[in-house]
Amino acid sequence: MNWLVKTNEDLEVWSETEYRTRVMKCEYYGARPFWQKIRKLSPPISEDVLKYDVGEVIPYKRSSLGKRFAVIVKLFTEAGQNKFLGIDIENKRKVISSIV
């Protein structure tokens, strides 16, 4: 399971291990977490009602191996086409894709 975390003004995807390690460090040193708005990421249950909004998880690629999912970090328009910048929730790579 992965987590969507907001640090400063950026959205990041952390693995369960990363999240737990950072929580334990804060507890050990008595520090406050530097992140906010935490929630677990999971693929959408139904593709019938996809919301293209910052923080939403959507399928962005289909292949013979299955679907890939990304969390939207930023929405923008390029050359008259609506697109999004996202982070793949499995390999944490940045993704730019068109909004269909």
The span from the CA of 58 to the CA of 51, in Å, is: 8
Distances (CA, A) of 98 to 20, 56, 79, 80, 90: 34, 15, 11, 11, 20
> Tell me, what's the pLDDT at 45?
73
> Tell me, what's the pLDDT at 51?
83
Distances (CA, A) of 79 to 54, 57, 76, 83: 21, 24, 10, 10
Q: Which residues of the chain fall below pLDDT 50?
A: none
Beta carbons of 90 and 71 less than 8 angstroms apart: no
The span from the CA of 92 to the CA of 95, in Å, is: 9
> Tell me, what's the pLDDT at 47?
64
> Tell me, what's the pLDDT at 18?
92
> Tell me, what's the pLDDT at 22?
92
pTM for the predicted model, two decimal places: 0.75
- Say whether 47 sits in a helix, a strand or coil: helix
